[in-house]
Structure 1
Amino acid sequence: MRWLRWLPGWAQSVALVLGCFVVVLPLHQFAYRFLTRASQDRGLFWRSLVRRTQGPTRLCLIIVAVGAASAVAPVSREVRVLVNHLLLVGFVALAGWCCCIAIHIATVIYLRRFKLDAEDNLLARKHFTQVRLLERAAVTLVALITVAVCLMTFEPVRQYGVSLLASAGAAGLILGLAMQPVLSNLVAGIQIAITQPIKIEDAVIVENEWGWVEEINSTYVVVRLWDWRRLVVPLTYFIQKPFQNWTREGSSLIGSAFLYVDHTAPIPAMRKKLAEIAAQSNLWDGKVVNLQVSDVRENVIEIRMLMSARNASQAWDLRCEVREKMVGFLQAELPSALPRYRTEWLRIDRDRPTQSAGCAPAQ
């Protein structure tokens, strides 16, 4: 400190803090480069730990450096008390940050046992939905507690807290009414986590749009539509309004395809051909295949073809494949079974005299 005595007190303090930063930050960066390389060959836990703790450890070193600098800096007692108070707030924020990171790492390690890309991923989607929603709720709770503890470190808040709460009744009521959409979505998120009407990667029909549940956030759900658009829906929608969930209890689905053929179409031959098409397709799961006459109309009969698949996407592709191959089969082998319109021609003999009713023939 002797070589800084020619500077004013505030300049000496700033120089000490900057000197600590110059020493601490490069050292931290060098250490994390080494840890990142060392964790590449280890498991997911160590890689996630190193990546997630880089920010908190930097903040921790800054708090320690500023605390050490303030202890030896030539500043007044009031400034030192203010700096220590700010360091205390930073330490509380650091603790909350570490708790959030611990929750996230625990979530990642727990969910690594489940695979969403598996063929039967119902159990995995249940766990992903529950754990992700609970993780967001826990992070929100930790953030609220951290902010509350930080505010309680200030003397005016701690001293007049009761009076502030008592006098803020009307303001709290107004704020509650204004925050009603947000609060209702948060409550809906807890309900969805418990009852699970939807899960991650569920195939749903919402607002007449078909897609998959891509994200379930704290206040909204992102549905990935079949044409790659994203439909953002509030969480309360899935609590208050009806919607279709095609994969709630399982991913297998029965798809239907309709054909309109002539009344003379050979139904047994078409039923046999449908079974052959399903057996040759990699999309059929081997459970359900059937052909039925579902309706008879004036000029055609309606044929409904049922076939099952492992998931919604394969069911759609299988329906398209069955339609294409059945139409090709009718065109190639049974063209008479395709819809036809019949017209009857009557021959009229113009040389034959007509006889009016009630009149005798001419003499």
Structure 2
Amino acid sequence: MFDELPDVVTTLVTAAVSVVLALVLVQIVHIVVRRIGRRAPLFDQLATRLHRPVQCLAVVLAVQGALHATTATGDWRGPLLHGVTVLVIASGAWVVGALLLVLEDTALARFRTDVENNKTARRVHTQITVVRRVTIAVVVVVAIGAVLVTFPAARAAGASLLASAGLLGVVAALAAQSVLGNVFAGIQLAFSDELRLDDVVVVENEWGRVEDITLSYVVLHLWDDRRLTLPTSYFTTKPFQNWTRNESALLGAVEIDVDWAVPTEEMRRELRHICEGTDLWDTRACILQVTDAIGGLVRVRALVTAKDAPTLFDLRCHVRERLVQWLRESYPEALPRSRADVTGIPGLRIDKVEGLNGHSIPEQPERVPGAGAAGRALPPGNVPDASRDARVFSGSVEGRERSAAFAGPTEEDHRP
């Protein structure tokens, strides 16, 4: 043992010197890359993410080179070389993984998702996010395989495993059918453009935004800050609503049940006044229609548009509040009422009509056609075109475009 002591000391000194030189060289390169990174973001990312992995790889390579450079012999040399080889493989995998992350982050930085009409950016972010997880998994698996190959026993076992790979593959596929299904579903979602990050969806009667897409599950950030986690295979096997499939702008409805005495034309003008008085409306559609009239109530539906789902929700609430307030203050006789035929009861005299809440409805003064809430006639220039605000699929450019989208091709489209 004492005969091997000089060789051990020589090896340790050589390894120490090599490690110091390697660390100094890595530090010099790090400083140079960091200075270049002040003008180029890519080099700044390289200096940040690759510094520690490259240091680790340089140290183990220096130790391995020192061991090969010395002529030391002994029982300790073989296991030490094998351990250093394993560390070299692990450090190399760390460097490769960090380099892939830098490249993916650089690609993501080119596509901003905090702007309007970010469909392409969200698709790229979704694909790169899924590819990142796949590449990291591949690097880890390859590194583990390379480490196992360095063991003679593992190589011998690998030959026998290859002989029965077909049977093992069938058994593994049956045992992990749901797991593999989710993995392939995640890849399909990333490259089929069916679902993207930041898409607004309605799933299981829950409205939320796609926060994360992995190879096995999808995380939805719901409107009330809850998180809904679903397997990726859910989105390839079951229907769901995607409100931002092509664009974020949406059309929403506000329905109100009123009495038959409701003045629809004046209510339509009030809806236009409400929409024009808020910045939530995107000026595309402001339509009021009577969609149902059964029994003692009339159902009025207001259709309004906004740039995205959150804005549309606030706009619908705003329109609903303002219309209810307008009906209550200007046309209380249009509020929902219950009627009863009591004319055949002897001695009974009807002096007033009561609403659903028991309050009497005062008589209203006669109004001039086309008048506003106060009964005064509006100037001709202030009365909007009624047909524009009363039609969903006609009467305006937007209405005709909406009609063409749902009507299909016409005879003119087939003419040569």
| TM-score, normalised via structure 1 length | 0.83
* CA shift for structure 1 position 39: 6.9
Q: Distance in 2 between matches of 1:21 and 1:227?
A: 58
- The one of 283, 287, 291 equivalent to 1:286 is 283
Q: In structure 1, the residue corresponding to 2:282 is in which secondary structure?
A: strand
* CA shift for structure 1 position 258: 0.8
Q: Distance in 2 between matches of 1:297 and 1:35?
A: 79
* CA shift for structure 1 position 20: 6.8
The match for 1:207 is: 204
Q: In structure 1, the residue corresponding to 2:56 is in which secondary structure?
A: helix
Alignment of 1:100-179 (within 5 A): 100-167=97-164, 170-179=167-176
Supply the RMSD in Å over aligned alpha carbons. 3.2
Q: Distance in 2 between matches of 1:17 and 1:348?
A: 121
Letter matched to residue 199 of structure 2: D
Q: Is the 8 A contact 2:18 2:62 kept in 1?
A: yes
Letter matched to residue 228 of structure 2: L
- The one of 337, 348, 356 equivalent to 2:346 is 348
Structure with more contact order per residue of length (Cα contacts < 8 Å, sep ≥ 6): 1
The match for 1:193 is: 190
Kindly indicate whether residue 324 of structure 2 is the aligned counterpart of residue 327 of structure 1: yes
**CA shift in 2, pair 1:189/1:13, >3 Å:** farther
Q: Distance in 1 between matches of 2:246 and 2:226?
A: 26
Moved more, 234-243 or 135-144: 135-144
Q: Is the 8 A contact 1:213 1:222 kept in 2?
A: yes
**CA shift in 2, pair 1:271/1:349, >3 Å:** closer
Letter matched to residue 207 of structure 2: W
The match for 1:272 is: 269
Q: In structure 1, the residue corresponding to 2:285 is in which secondary structure?
A: strand
Aligned residues: 346
Q: Distance in 1 between matches of 2:292 and 2:7?
A: 92
Letter matched to residue 127 of structure 1: V
**CA shift in 2, pair 1:349/1:312, >3 Å:** closer
* CA shift for structure 1 position 110: 1.7
> Deviation string for 1:270-305 (max 9, x for gaps)?
111111211222121111221111111322111111
Q: Distance in 2 between matches of 1:163 and 1:34?
A: 50
The match for 1:88 is: 85
Letter matched to residue 224 of structure 1: H
Q: Distance in 1 between matches of 2:10 and 2:230?
A: 53
Q: In structure 2, the residue corresponding to 1:287 is in which secondary structure?
A: coil
Kindly indicate whether residue 213 of structure 2 is the aligned counterpart of residue 216 of structure 1: yes
- The one of 218, 221, 227 equivalent to 1:230 is 227
Letter matched to residue 242 of structure 1: P
Q: Distance in 1 between matches of 2:335 and 2:33?
A: 68
| TM-score, normalised via structure 2 length | 0.73
Kindly indicate whether residue 309 of structure 2 is the aligned counterpart of residue 312 of structure 1: yes
Structure 2 unaligned segments of length 5 or more: list them.
349-416
Q: Distance in 1 between matches of 2:203 and 2:35?
A: 47
**CA shift in 2, pair 1:325/1:14, >3 Å:** farther
